Amino acid sequence: MQLLTTPKREPWSRNHLLRDAIGQAIYDRMVSDPSVHLFGEGCHVKVHYDAPNIERDFSDRVHTLPISEDGNVNFAVGASLLGVKPVVDVITADFLYRAMDSICNTAAKMNFVRPDQPPGTIVIRAEFLTGGPTTGQRPEALFTHIPGLNVVIPSTPRDAYGLMRTVLDTSGVTLFFEDRMIEDGLIEEHDRRCYAPIAIGYAHERQYGDFQPDATVLVYGLMRQVVEKALDPMLNIDFLDLRTIYPIDWSQIKYSAQRSRKLLIIEPDVQYGGVGAEIAATIAEEMPGVRVKRLGGMRATIPAAMLRQGSRMPTEEEIRDAVTNW
């Protein structure tokens, strides 16, 4: 395996460990699968910024497209009908709103309206930032509502590598989100020689304390790092990171909730109508003896002032209080 590295960045770029793992996964898949192509606005510049070996070794499969997110996704749909496996980079997640029609009304339905056509593979890549009202939104929950879409949000480099390798071999359309707010310095070290494909739809479990937990804490994306900083290692809990918010690992969630009888859901997105709401409703309906509590973001416009942007998500103090005093 030829490891890819990213040069030192300005502080606003947040992290590079997740990004390097994603670039490595794409590179490794391009080595073995000539149908994988990269598409996006300024794609040569972005790929060179992420993983220069991709542009160096596969320049004929890196395609810079115009500034048109909607058109670029539709372009990828057409390419997939010809046997190409496109990875479409729309840059920040806010730009996905420009491509909602091509993602939800075209790409997600191709495998249904063309039964004579072999199912294709399309990966739509976007990143979460914190940059004010129009460049800091998290629309992940919107896409879980659409049949035909998978939604992936890794929180560690190992998961980022493994999940990208898997979705590039999975029929259908996958929204692959990169959470740029995850700090490199707080990411647990992983042996890159152990990187391997990871099946989608399976949560990562980490146990604190005894086998019989006092509570189950469920997170995804950025919240994994925030909660790990907030938790006391002496607590007796099951800690689950979803990794994919569609499909969701219901069996693992229900198994842990059945043992602990308490489920705390902590999400970085707007709490109202979010992923946690769906999980809470399902557990309430199917496991009435389990107590459920949620922490999430406010349903409010993201402020432009950077000092106020962090207030939209659950804080470490709120998380500690919810876990210990509930």
Same domain, 159 and 16: yes
User: What percentage of the chain reaches a pLDDT higher than 90?
Assistant: 57
The dihedrals phi and psi of 315, each to the nearest 5 degrees, come to -90, 165
Is 6 within the bounds of a domain?
no
Question: What pLDDT does 307 receive?
Answer: 62
Same domain, 151 and 109: yes
Last residue of a domain, one of 168, 194, 220: 194
Residue 25 has pLDDT above 60, yes or no: yes
Q: Which pLDDT tens digit goes with each residue over 179-208? A: 888 888 767 766 777 899 999 999 999 888
Q: How many domains does the chain have?
A: 2
Question: What pLDDT does 119 receive?
Answer: 78
Instruction: Report the predicted TM-score, pTM, of the whole model to 2 decimal places.
Output: 0.91
Same domain, 69 and 133: yes
Contact, 76 vs 107, CB < 8 A? yes
Enclosing domain of residue 292? 204-324
Is 236 within the bounds of a domain?
yes
Indicate which CATH number applies to the domain containing 27. 3.40.50.970
Q: What is the spatial distance between Cα 40 and Cα 169, in angstroms, rounded to a whole number? A: 20
Last residue of a domain, one of 138, 171, 194: 194
Q: Which pLDDT tens digit goes with each residue over 275-317? A: 999 999 999 999 999 999 999 988 888 777 666 665 678 888 8
Instruction: Give the residue from 190, 96, 106, 176 showing the smallest Cα distance to 134.
Output: 96
Q: What stretch of H or E contains 140? A: helix 140-144
Question: What pLDDT does 231 receive?
Answer: 85
Least confident among 22-26, 56-60, 208-212, 279-283: 208-212
Determine the average pLDDT of the residues in 223-230. Answer: 89
Same domain, 209 and 162: no
Contacts of residue 123, defined as CB under 8 A and 6 or more positions apart, other chains included, come to 85, 86, 87, 88, 164, 167, 168, 173, 174, 176
Same domain, 19 and 52: yes
For residue 258, the tally of other CB atoms under 10 A from its CB is 14
In this structure, the dihedral spanned by the alpha carbons of residues 189, 192, 194 and 195, taken in order and rounded to 10 degrees, is: 110
